[in-house]
Amino acid sequence: MGEIILYSTKCPKCMVVETKLKQLHLNFKVVEDTDTVVAVGKANKINTAPILKVGDKYYDFTSAIKFLKEGK
């Protein structure tokens, strides 16, 4: 699956993704630096937090939840 990084602002949606990752017992890193979150978002055309990086793929909230539900 590769390294998992959650770019988070601790917003409600960010916390939903973080909770789901914990429920699935996945090892992940959280990055909360706002400048980094914005830069990663711009680079990947994602305009809102959270941003989930799995391996070399980036997911916005909706696609992250779908990915986590359907099958890591």
Tokens representing 60? 């916005």
pTM of the predicted model as reported, rounded to 2 decimal places: 0.94
pLDDT at 72: 53
pLDDT at 9: 97
Mean pLDDT of 13-21: 98
Query: Taking Cα atoms as reference points, which of 53, 52, 70 lies closest to residue 13?
Result: 52
- Give the residue extent of every domain in the chain: 4-70
Q: In this structure, is the dihedral angle defined by the CA atoms of residues 54, 59, 61 and 67, taken in order, positive or negative?
A: negative
Fold of 4-70: Glutaredoxin (3.40.30)
* pLDDT per position as a tens digit, 21-62: 999 999 999 999 999 999 999 999 999 999 999 999 999 999
Listing DSSP states for 23-47 in one string gives HTT---EEE--HHHHHHHHHHTT--
